[in-house]
Structure 1
Amino acid sequence: MATHTTRSIVKAFDLLQVACLLPRSASLRDVAAKAEISVATAHRILSTLKNVGAIRVAADGSYELGQTLADLRSRDIVEAAAARRIIDSRLAVTTRALGTSTRLATLDSQRMLHFVAGADRLADTSGVSRVVGARFEAYFHAAGKLLLSALEPGEVGEYLAAAPLVPVAAKTITNPGRLVAELRQIARLDYAVEDEEFVNGEHAFAVPLRDDKGTLIAALSASRRLPHAQNTAHIVHVLRTSANALAKDLHDEPKGVRAIGWLSAQLA
């Protein structure tokens, strides 16, 4: 059971995360709203953070990062920009190799699929529906199903219990048992296929992107309109090669593959 002290630490961390993502400064009410806590609680915690130099109060009464955290944030921004260039370059190469739209996606804290980066081919319109920065339910995307397949059985059960599986296209999986069976198959195969489950007339494929410890961080996917001549084995091979190359590209960056999570937070 969480203690009062533990809850206060968690709320303080939430406030710091909000502050780190602010463009400059924000009012007490704005900070409290973004952290989803009461104004009174936000004021109490911000006062403590101000006393230790983590937060400062501007002349107009708004809150902004203290100098030490501001310096760390600046370093994070530089590191994230470098990671973004690496990711965008790799996705562009993958798009040219496949002639499809490609996306890099994560699951957020609510288990929504979040497209954090992408590259498109002008002749292929499948990327139009997969907007970078947008969030979607995970169960009807190849990338989402791949990421869901890495959850523990109990977590999958919680996900299914949270909301019904609503059809959004001709072949959306709406039966929980069938989705669980598909997630198990995806876990075995280590890739996912989407067959007109999100948009009629579109296929998508996804493979995992893992860190050095083998932890699943994101999904690299490709989508395209039907009909297309490339077979699944070829597309999955190219995606796997690209995912491995991207992980290697990011290895020497300060945050490594986990920079993807930072980019996801920036798009929140």
Structure 2
Amino acid sequence: MWLLFVFIFIIFAIAFNQFFKVAIKSTKKDGALTVLMQSLAGICALILMPFFKFKLPTDYKIYLFLGLACIFYAISDRMNTTVRRGVEASTYSIIKQLSTVFMIIAGLLFFKEPFVWKKIIGAILIIFSNIFVFYEKGKQKLNKYVLLGILSCLVFSIALFLDVNISDNFNLAFYVALTLLVPALLLTIFGRIKFTDIKNELQHGNKKVIFITSFSWAITLIAGLRAYQLGKVTLVAPLRSLTVIGNVIVGYFFLNEKDNLLKKVIAAIMIVISVFLIKG
């Protein structure tokens, strides 16, 4: 069963990444679009609640850590929308893998995990794959979007660090809804995003693309977590990383992302190998 959820994750993760790139092209305010799709994705997750056993934790510490994690998820989601505007969808999927590197560092520093050479080599491979894609002799490729993407990965890793293993204590769909709707609320309040701005994004944007992106977002999160719950991390994680190769291939045909194609393919393969080393 876990393999089915991995397959669902890969399909919808690729769809989410590709359609998000299409949606961002017609937006006027990145923050409003982020809140709109977070909210729609959260509603989609709530609709799927009956398919999972309903349970809630009684330990208040879990809610505290979830609340803190949602703050960082909100910041990361907002950054990601801007990053997606400035880089190709296939490139974004490669940058996103840096979160794994930050989690390895967190594991060594805070979880006191043992120093394992395979993990270090895997992390170095991920870093090298990004350098390989962005470095071009005589040109400065690290533009503001790439730097913001790296910062977003760091913020996202902090959220994961706070959020580790919390999902097991909740109805899975409800948990996913919380990690979408709470950040949407935080962004609306602290980002001073008006309801009229959100409404305008829906009215003047590509509605079909917005709904497909939001639905794919919800399914991606649910399927990804469910795969980890049912399967072994050492098997699930490497297969999940196939989304990188998938995004490079689909981006070539769907979004006409042909720049540095060979570099992206090689980088994607390096990332898959690195995940096998890290999780193996």
TM-score greater than 0.5 by the shorter chain: no
| TM-score where L is the length of structure 2 | 0.29
CA radius of gyration, larger in? 1
Normalized per residue, the structure richer in helix is 2
Normalized per residue, the structure richer in strand is 1
Higher RCO (CA 8 Å, separation ≥ 6 residues): 2
